[in-house]
Structure 1
Amino acid sequence: MPRRPGASVRLKFTLSYAGFIVLAGLLLLAAVWVFLLRYVPDRAMLIVPDDDFGNGSVFPVRSRLLEVFAPRAAAVLAFLLLFGLAGGWFLAGRMLAPLTRITDATRRVSTGSLAHRIRLEGSEDEFRELADAFDAMLARLEAHAIEQQRFVANASHELRTPLAISKTLIDVARTDPHGDTHEVIDRLHTVNTRAIDLIEALLLLGRAGQRSFTRESVDLSLLVEEATETLLPLAEKNDVALETGGDFAATLGSPALLLQLTTNLVHNAIVHNLPAQGTVWVDTSVRAKTVVLTVENTGEKISPQLASTLTEPFQRGSERVSTDHAGVGLGLAIVNTITRAHDGTLTLTPRASGGIRVTVELPATAQHIDG
């Protein structure tokens, strides 16, 4: 928004300081004048000798005192004004130096440089708190920008792969008109389905991150029942046993997003399991102020380093055994985004015997807390 030109803050501080000094000087001189007049009688006369024979002039003391006091008072006020301006300019510069550094950092940020930090030294005053808060904001922005750049690069790569495969299949079909068109159509259908799933996952990821949804009471145990019932055929196909349990666990949120979260967790637990006779445990519980959804599965051992990266978009673990329904690499990323949008926490813990335990902790409703 355009603004009219005006005096700088430093100049305003300088004038304020100088004005205060002059005002204080005026009050002091006025007090001195009143003090002098109090002890000088109204009719007091002053004899000023004119010669050596005792002749002289007679003046009222008060008028003579005014003649002597006024010019000296004016000189003192002029000195105080100059001193106030010089001292105020210097002190204002010292006081506003941290603000200048913050302004310079802001200008650098406006040019796209997020790596700069103020790192203001000194005591814990208001400027130090402002600078530290600004540095923390820059750190979050830089991390977010890096994450977005990596996400865009990964998304571009993931979207380019099915498009490149589709182009190759079409080129092969064009150069070989007598080839098996049914096989080409089936493969194109598979590739396009994967591309559509990827785009839908990206859209869901964006909607969940915006938190633009209506919150209502949701029972996680009912979502577990719905998700496991939907994925039971997939579990049977992969020879994975589903075991569910737990208590009534109500939280506030979007039923659709929380169902997607539960479905993604159960789906991942089924797909990333042993090749045969695997198990998935799904449980809900209630704590002091939170409700907890836990999904645990068997499988090969996962390192803690790998587990800490599985929530990143398009991150796929090398320990995957089953290749069917491998997804698009956004399952846990979507879970993480939905969890944060509901003010919850997501924890991934490798199991000692193999597999992983995923815990989603969300704020409980008032009925749980009051109970």
Structure 2
Amino acid sequence: MSRRPGLSARLKLTISYAGFLLLASTLLLALVWMFLLRYVPDSPKGLLGVAPNRYLLLRVFAPAAATGLAFLLAFGLLGGWVLAGRMLAPLARIADAARTASNGSLSHRIRMEGPEDEFRELADVFDTMLEQLQSHLGEQQRFAANASHELRTPLAISRTLLDVARNDPTRDQGELIERLHTVNTRAIDLTEALLLLTRADRRSFTREPVDLSLSVEEATETLLPLAEQRRITLNVTGEKTQTAGSAALLLRMVTNLVQNAIVHNLRAGGTVTVHTESRRDASVLWVENTGHRLPPELVPTLTEPFQRGTARIRTDEHAGVGLGLAIVHSIVRAHDGTLDLTPRPTGGLLVTIRLPATP
């Protein structure tokens, strides 16, 4: 955006300081002159109609006042320039940091020292913003790399299957078509999950009242056949729990949690417990499941995209695309909530979600 050149902030402050000093000095000299006129004794007027004492006083006072004003103007300009430079020095550091960040380097920090003032607060806020931008950029880069890797695999498999079908016309086409359908379904699921994750990150949804207990009821009814197939017992407890947000996203959040709890469970005889609870300051949802013991160092990484855990990878149709908890985490953040993952001592995981409560 092109703009016409103007005076710098330092020059404007310098002129302002000097102008204020000159004005204050002029007012002071005017007061002194009035004081002198008041207390200088009168004398008979001379030929020019002016009292000789006051005439002599004017001849002496006027040049001295002019000289003093000129000196104060020069002093005000010089002192104002120095003071303005010192006062604007923190802004220069912030501008340099912003210029560095605009060139693509987000690792630079101002780390301004000194007392707590407006400039220090601005610098700290700017450092925090750079830290968050660097963190988000790193997450986006890792996510893009993982997404490219995950999408490349089904596409490569599809190309291989098509090459086989083209080079070997006698091969069973039904088997190839079935395998190709499975691979393409996985690619579509991954694409839809990526789109959902992006939508949650952008917070592009309308907030409306949502009862988490109804979302839990719908999700568990949908996943009940899967639980019965795996001989997993579903327990739903709790009460009406109101929050505000996207009903579709919150339903997807609950569905992902329950599906993960079913899939990553014991081979038979496991349990999944889903509970909703209203508290004074939050609407709470927790999902607890049995399963294998999880290393404590693995749990914090489960919300990262495409992180399934070394002992949690499944090869069946319900294994997902590695975005289940990442989507849950993104939806929780988009609704200004918190997500806690706690490994159970006997095996399995306890997932606790706290969302803002509504009256």
**Correspondence 1:73 to 2:83:** no
**Contact 1:119-1:132 at 8 Å conserved across structures:** yes
Instruction: Determine helix, strand or coil for the equivalent of 2:271.
Output: strand
1:359 corresponds to which letter in structure 2? T
Map residues 177-188 of structure 1 onto 2, 5 A cutoff: 177-188=169-180
Q: Tell me which residue corresponds to 1:54.
A: none
Report the CA distance between 1:64 and its aligned residue.
1.1
**Correspondence 1:9 to 2:9:** yes
Between Structure 1 and Structure 2, how many residues are aligned? 355
CA distance in 1, matches of 2:272, 2:171: 44
Map residues 264-275 of structure 1 onto 2, 5 A cutoff: 264-275=256-267
Worse-superposed segment, 63-72 or 126-135: 63-72
| 2:215 aligned to which of 216, 220, 223 | 223
Q: Using a 3 Å threshold, how does the CA distance of structure 1 residues 300 and 44 change in structure 2: closer, same or farther?
A: farther
| 1:330 aligned to which of 312, 323, 326 | 323
CA distance in 2, matches of 1:218, 1:59: 92
**Contact 1:271-1:323 at 8 Å conserved across structures:** no
Map residues 85-124 of structure 1 onto 2, 5 A cutoff: 85-124=77-116
CA distance in 1, matches of 2:44, 2:12: 47
Report the CA distance between 1:319 and its aligned residue.
2.1
Report the CA distance between 1:45 and its aligned residue.
8.0
CA distance in 1, matches of 2:61, 2:217: 96
Q: Any gaps of 5 or more consecutive residues in structure 1?
A: 47-57, 367-371
**Contact 2:42-2:51 at 8 Å conserved across structures:** no
Worse-superposed segment, 283-292 or 35-44: 35-44
| TM, length-normalised to structure 1 | 0.93
Instruction: Determine helix, strand or coil for the equivalent of 2:108.
Output: coil
Map residues 169-208 of structure 1 onto 2, 5 A cutoff: 169-208=161-200
Instruction: Determine helix, strand or coil for the equivalent of 2:301.
Output: coil
Q: Tell me which residue corresponds to 1:18.
A: 18
**Correspondence 1:38 to 2:25:** no
| TM, length-normalised to structure 2 | 0.96
1:357 corresponds to which letter in structure 2? L
Instruction: Determine helix, strand or coil for the equivalent of 1:304.
Output: coil
| 1:238 aligned to which of 220, 224, 230 | 230
Worse-superposed segment, 260-269 or 67-76: 67-76
Q: Tell me which residue corresponds to 1:359.
A: 352
Report the CA distance between 1:43 and its aligned residue.
1.6
Report the CA distance between 1:217 and its aligned residue.
1.7
Report the CA distance between 1:254 and its aligned residue.
1.4
**Contact 2:43-2:51 at 8 Å conserved across structures:** no
Q: Tell me which residue corresponds to 2:299.
A: 307
**Contact 1:252-1:363 at 8 Å conserved across structures:** yes
Instruction: Determine helix, strand or coil for the equivalent of 2:341.
Output: strand
Q: Tell me which residue corresponds to 1:141.
A: 133
CA distance in 2, matches of 1:119, 1:215: 38
Report the CA distance between 1:364 and its aligned residue.
1.5
Q: Any gaps of 5 or more consecutive residues in structure 2?
A: none
* Percent identity for Structure 1 against Structure 2: 69
**Contact 1:273-1:321 at 8 Å conserved across structures:** no
CA distance in 2, matches of 1:321, 1:8: 61
CA distance in 2, matches of 1:276, 1:364: 37
Residue by residue over 1:223-260, the C-alpha shift from the partner in whole angstroms, topping out at 9 and shown as x without a partner, is 11111111111112222111111111111121111111
CA distance in 1, matches of 2:60, 2:16: 30
1:264 corresponds to which letter in structure 2? N
Over aligned residues, Cα RMSD in angstroms? 1.5
Q: Tell me which residue corresponds to 2:277.
A: 285
CA distance in 2, matches of 1:248, 1:163: 45
Structure 1 moving runs of 4+ over 6 Å: none
**Bigger radius of gyration:** 1
Q: Using a 3 Å threshold, how does the CA distance of structure 1 residues 320 and 199 change in structure 2: closer, same or farther?
A: same
2:242 corresponds to which letter in structure 1? A
Report the CA distance between 1:84 and its aligned residue.
0.5
**Correspondence 1:350 to 2:350:** no
Report the CA distance between 1:323 and its aligned residue.
3.3
Residue by residue over 1:180-231, the C-alpha shift from the partner in whole angstroms, topping out at 9 and shown as x without a partner, is 2111111100000000000010111111222222222221111111111111
Instruction: Determine helix, strand or coil for the equivalent of 1:27.
Output: helix
**Contact 2:313-2:319 at 8 Å conserved across structures:** no
**Contact 1:295-1:359 at 8 Å conserved across structures:** yes
CA distance in 1, matches of 2:107, 2:140: 16
Report the CA distance between 1:2 and its aligned residue.
2.4
